[in-house]
Structure 1
Amino acid sequence: MKKKAGTVLAVFIFLILAIFALFSRQQTKKAAAAKKTVTIVAATGGAPKPFTFVKNDKLTGHNIELLKAMFKKLPQYQLKIEKTKFESIFSGLNSDRYQIGVNNFAKNAEREKNYLFTDPIFKNAYVVIFKKNSPLTKKVDSWSDLNGLSTVGSTGVNTTTAIEEYNKKHTHKKIDFHYSAEDLASQLRSIESGKYDFLLMDKPMFDYYQKEFKYNLETKSVSGSLKKELLAEPYSYLIVSKGNQRLVKDINKALKEVVKDGTSKKINEKYFGEDYSPTYK
């Protein structure tokens, strides 16, 4: 009887030790995995809507959802997203406080000197916006047709970059450009009121705002030489701090996956009603 009890006790002790050993191995693996995980901080200005904005005290929008979808496919990274002033994104990238800038960024020569770019995350289409029944609607087909006309825009966005580049090349035939910290809703109202002559804007973004606010405005599709010059680089990107080539490569891989599996299309259709995903071979 004592022998049987001893055997049972030995088996019980063996099982306890086996379970403890298994638990220890699992904890070691978890610790090792956590140790290998790299924290990546992405910064956004929280505008323009619907690419990035705050709703119920949480950051959301096309760019934000797409970024999160990509990082779900990158378990080696832990993603954190911070809202900051737009200009602080660049200083944060310069110091590597932030590794990613996510704000519907356009590409230009100056930024390419200072930052890395991912593959395109969004393919833009553009419209020129005028006050309802403006005679300018029928006249504008080229950049030269915008010479002397007034407009407004925010720093760093695709359309502002395009106008800045045009004005640098045409110092005697400039577009009368006014920088503004106002949101797009306010900028569109300034066109509606006649404060400025026109606004050059992403078509999907304008459609989003027009649906919500029903402005007394009309649009003209970008065409002619204006289309050729503006749409030479019709994409938006994530920008990445220098020295993070591995991160760019991993993001590009995940980006192609979310485009291929339809996640990008779903996010685009949620915010714009149609798909503006880039195409990849």
Structure 2
Amino acid sequence: MPDISCARRALRPVPALAVGTVLLTSACGGTSASTSSDSDLPAAVAQSGTLRVGMSPDFPPMEYLDEKTQSIVGVDVKLVNALGRKLGVKVKIVQQSFDQLLNSVQTGRVDIVMSGLSDTAERQKTVDFVDYFASEGRFYTLQSDAGKFTKPADVCGKTLAVSKKTDYYEQVQKYDKQHCAGAGKSAVKLLPTDSGSAARLQLEQGRADVAVQGAENLAYFEKQDAGKYESVLGPLKSTPFGIVVKKGDSKMSGAILKAMKALVKDGTYKKILTGGGMDYAVTTPVLNGTKD
């Protein structure tokens, strides 16, 4: 479990996430030295010595509330703590609902967002991204049904649950055009849900035959409930998660990109991802890497 023992404030999950903050000092959980000077950061952040980070802790294992401590933990929490150390600032996590994240960085409520948010060409119209994680969508089903899905056409005509708030929803539609409806076979019966957890519930209750979610989520569920689910078929096209920065704020995006590259160089970045079983997600940090 990620170590954020310096995070003291208890936050309890509610149906609609309340806004709260958790202050994580840059000295907590590691010895990676700062590589940035004040001139690397926007003046307001350099003067305050604090980086405000928008995060929606409902996306395990990237960010979620620990059941025992009710502290925000996860891969993104570890990464942003390491990022804060490189920048020489404290990290203050601002807990928000997923729907608030983009607007929050656009309006200056937070300095950046780091919450498993995909870099897309559409989103780049209003914000900038420093890509740091190569996410993959995966088909999965109950382990007892895994043998029914061995080739792409096996999804045709089946009911597939997927969160309509994710990029996987659009990817599944493209998959249907390529392998099913667009290839003269029965169309995939899409069952859109409000979240990944809702899609899993549809699968568990027999309303869906198969579902799609990020590989990182499935790895977490396997640890929590071994043998219940099983990934099938090949992964969907990789889509990078990005650290979100206000559009055109080259000072901030430049500082974040420089610090992320430093974490790659000293091995901290790879250690965090591989430690969580996410070797597939290792990538080279880049600004606005998605082009289409």
Contact 2:141/2:203 (8 A) holds in 1: yes
Does structure 1 residue 94 correspond to structure 2 residue 99?
A: no
Contact 2:139/2:232 (8 A) holds in 1: yes
Spell out, residue by residue over 1:99-121, the C-alpha distance to the aligned partner (whole angstroms, 9 max, x if none): 32222111222211111111x21
Q: Using the TM superposition, give the Cα deviation of residue 57 of structure 1 relative to its aligned residue in structure 2, in angstroms.
A: 2.9
Matching residue within 62, 67, 87 for 1:51: 62
Q: Match for residue 75 of structure 2?
A: 62
Aligned counterparts of 1:89 and 1:154: Cα–Cα separation in 2? 17
Does structure 1 residue 263 correspond to structure 2 residue 268?
A: yes
Does structure 1 residue 81 correspond to structure 2 residue 81?
A: no
Distance 1:39 1:217, change over 3 A: closer
Q: Using the TM superposition, give the Cα deviation of residue 82 of structure 1 relative to its aligned residue in structure 2, in angstroms.
A: 0.9
Which ranges in structure 1 are unaligned for 5 or more consecutive residues? 1-31
Which ranges in structure 2 are unaligned for 5 or more consecutive residues? 1-42, 287-292
Aligned counterparts of 1:168 and 1:103: Cα–Cα separation in 2? 30
Q: Using the TM superposition, give the Cα deviation of residue 65 of structure 1 relative to its aligned residue in structure 2, in angstroms.
A: 1.2
Q: Match for residue 52 of structure 2?
A: 41
Q: Match for residue 21 of structure 2?
A: none
Spell out, residue by residue over 1:151-194, the C-alpha distance to the aligned partner (whole angstroms, 9 max, x if none): 33335434235236668999x7664434434553x533432442
Query: What are the residue-to-residue correspondences of 1:122-201 with 2, within 5 Å?
Result: 122-131=133-142, 132-134=144-146, 136-140=148-152, 146-163=155-172, 175-182=188-195, 184=197, 187-201=199-213
Q: Match for residue 236 of structure 1?
A: 241
Aligned counterparts of 2:57 and 2:280: Cα–Cα separation in 1? 22
Aligned-pair Cα RMSD in Å: 3.3
Matching residue within 219, 233, 253 for 2:231: 219
Distance 1:251 1:139, change over 3 A: same
Q: Match for residue 112 of structure 1?
A: 124
Q: Using the TM superposition, give the Cα deviation of residue 89 of structure 1 relative to its aligned residue in structure 2, in angstroms.
A: 1.1
Distance 1:219 1:113, change over 3 A: same
Q: Match for residue 25 of structure 1?
A: none
Q: Using the TM superposition, give the Cα deviation of residue 87 of structure 1 relative to its aligned residue in structure 2, in angstroms.
A: 0.4
Aligned length, in residue pairs? 236
Contact 1:151/1:199 (8 A) holds in 2: yes
Identity %: 21
- Give the secondary-structure state (helix, strand or coil) at the position aligned to 2:281: coil
Spell out, residue by residue over 1:206-253, the C-alpha distance to the aligned partner (whole angstroms, 9 max, x if none): 12211211243332241xxxx5xx42x432111112232211111111
Contact 1:192/1:215 (8 A) holds in 2: no
- Higher mean C-alpha deviation, range 55-64 or range 269-278: 269-278
Aligned counterparts of 1:248 and 1:108: Cα–Cα separation in 2? 16
Spell out, residue by residue over 1:8-62, the C-alpha distance to the aligned partner (whole angstroms, 9 max, x if none): xxxxxxxxxxxxxxxxxxxxxxxx9997346432111112100011122322210
Aligned counterparts of 1:220 and 1:169: Cα–Cα separation in 2? 18
Contact 2:63/2:115 (8 A) holds in 1: yes
TM-score, with length taken from structure 1: 0.70
Q: Using the TM superposition, give the Cα deviation of residue 78 of structure 1 relative to its aligned residue in structure 2, in angstroms.
A: 4.3
Distance 1:42 1:179, change over 3 A: farther
Aligned counterparts of 2:136 and 2:283: Cα–Cα separation in 1? 12
- Give the secondary-structure state (helix, strand or coil) at the position aligned to 2:256: helix
More helix by share: 1
Contact 1:208/1:272 (8 A) holds in 2: no
Q: Using the TM superposition, give the Cα deviation of residue 274 of structure 1 relative to its aligned residue in structure 2, in angstroms.
A: 4.3
Contact 1:137/1:219 (8 A) holds in 2: no
Contact 1:105/1:157 (8 A) holds in 2: no
AA in 2 matched with 1:211? K
Distance 1:247 1:57, change over 3 A: same
The structure number with the bigger radius of gyration is 1
TM-score, with length taken from structure 2: 0.68
Matching residue within 273, 277, 292 for 1:272: 277
